[in-house]
A and B are shown apart, each in its own frame.
Chain A
């Protein structure tokens, strides 16, 4: 898999698509009456760079649908960069580029003509710090993305409610939907961001240390939410908290210096890792 590379419009070098015709991600299946399921994300030979710095070094990894996959590793190991490559956020950074192949089921995410905005709608992301739109109400925070899809009126209100319920927040905010999103607690704000992410009915949710700014109770609520969300989505979570990875993830990947050291069932990683470097890291001997 060494197809010729091209420059994207943003100046990010990416692998050329295997197909000639422009593509866009398939419309979200949640729009149908059938229950939504996650989609398979496959990384093949993924490399990511910041200028000359080689941050991700030839990672092959598959994120299975309706599973939670945790990515662990010390600071600077490339785990956040890897996740940001999946929904093409990495290329937004000046001088950053990625090589290799990422597919969402059969779709080449970096294919020529693939609409980046559509990719990010199908592959939602939740960040380390809750980042609700500061000037918007709780309702509008969730509705913002939906309005771009054309939802209006009763349909919009229903989808906002569904999303807030899906994020486990509805009962706490249903009587103050017009209040500012920033007025919520940190944990509630993070769940609001999750509601915003799932409102546009993605198929994959990327979470980059979603609980690192939250207290233990809020963290447990988000973890319970992750367990519910995986019935509908493919979930990838980057975390520094190894106990969190052990609690929420079906599979765990350990990265070190940009390389994927070990990937396997979470139970194996935390009870009997195969690679000595994984053993050293999870037992706290470095990192």
Chain B
């Protein structure tokens, strides 16, 4: 009997679309944050900071929609797992938006004439592209219910983690010039933000696997002995 609970299905599909659009918003915000970093564009950085209200608004919108759906439609089985997963996904969207804001807030500290180390900047750029790619992939994996694509995020995250360590070492070895050292310290903070965005994308991937399999498991245990940041 097709067509039953049509209104519920439309509401759930709408909520999922809203949450996944949140990931698109993160990608757009991340692009701006990275561009403002490369161009040392303080005005663009301020736009990134102010624009975070849109992502926060999306979080509240989806969160409220999920509460209403739970209260009014009592979803079960796969529907319930999707709803629970969306609650996590939208939280990760909000966190990733905050990380973009954290990056943008560092840019005015060094000004338009920041003493850039080209090698370090190239590493940041590569890391930014990796993080962006992870967010895009996490969205596709969720939308397509592709657990293999979701788990592949771990591979990309390893690359981000490696770059994060390289950037840290480069910052330590960057020399004695105080302005350069301060800028490099800020770049380690940017790298940390990008690394966290990558982690959030992996978390979205774990929610995809939960929806598909019904079992939640961490793809990689960051808390075990020997795990690297």
**Interface residue ranges, A against B (CB under 8 Å):** 242-243, 246, 270-273, 278-279, 282-287
A150-B132 Cα distance, complex, nearest whole Å: 81
Are A272 and B75 closer than 8 Å at their CB atoms?
Answer: no
Inside 8 A of A287's CB, which chain B residues have their CB? 1, 4
Are B81 and A271 closer than 8 Å at their CB atoms?
Answer: yes
Are A273 and B1 closer than 8 Å at their CB atoms?
Answer: no
**Interface residue ranges, B against A (CB under 8 Å):** 1-2, 4-5, 8, 74-81, 214-215
Are A246 and B1 closer than 8 Å at their CB atoms?
Answer: no
Inside 8 A of A285's CB, which chain B residues have their CB? 1-2, 4-5
A285 to chain B, nearest CB (A): 6
A270-B1 Cα distance, complex, nearest whole Å: 20
List 7 extra interface pairs beyond A242-B76, A279-B78, A283-B76, CB under 8 A.
Answer: A270-B76, A270-B80, A271-B76, A271-B81, A272-B215, A279-B77, A285-B1
Are B77 and A273 closer than 8 Å at their CB atoms?
Answer: yes
Interface class of chain B by DSSP: loop
Tally A-B pairs: CB < 8 A: 38
Q: Which of B78, B79, B80 has the most CB of A within 10 A?
A: B78
Are A284 and B214 closer than 8 Å at their CB atoms?
Answer: no
Inside 8 A of B215's CB, which chain A residues have their CB? 272
A286-B214 Cα distance, complex, nearest whole Å: 22
Inside 8 A of A283's CB, which chain B residues have their CB? 5, 75-79
A278-B214 Cα distance, complex, nearest whole Å: 14
Are B5 and A284 closer than 8 Å at their CB atoms?
Answer: yes
A270-B78 Cα distance, complex, nearest whole Å: 9
A16 to chain B, nearest CB (A): 41
A18 to chain B, nearest CB (A): 40
Are A284 and B4 closer than 8 Å at their CB atoms?
Answer: yes
Are B74 and A282 closer than 8 Å at their CB atoms?
Answer: no
A243-B1 Cα distance, complex, nearest whole Å: 21
A286-B1 Cα distance, complex, nearest whole Å: 5
B6 to chain A, nearest CB (A): 10
Inside 8 A of B4's CB, which chain A residues have their CB? 284-287
Nearest 8 pairs between A and B by C-beta? A272-B214, A284-B5, A286-B1, A270-B76, A282-B76, A279-B77, A283-B77, A283-B79
Are A272 and B1 closer than 8 Å at their CB atoms?
Answer: no
A173-B78 Cα distance, complex, nearest whole Å: 45
A287-B76 Cα distance, complex, nearest whole Å: 15
A283-B6 Cα distance, complex, nearest whole Å: 11
A283-B1 Cα distance, complex, nearest whole Å: 12
Q: Which of B76, B78, B80, B81 has the most CB of A within 10 A?
A: B76
A106 to chain B, nearest CB (A): 37
A243-B76 Cα distance, complex, nearest whole Å: 9
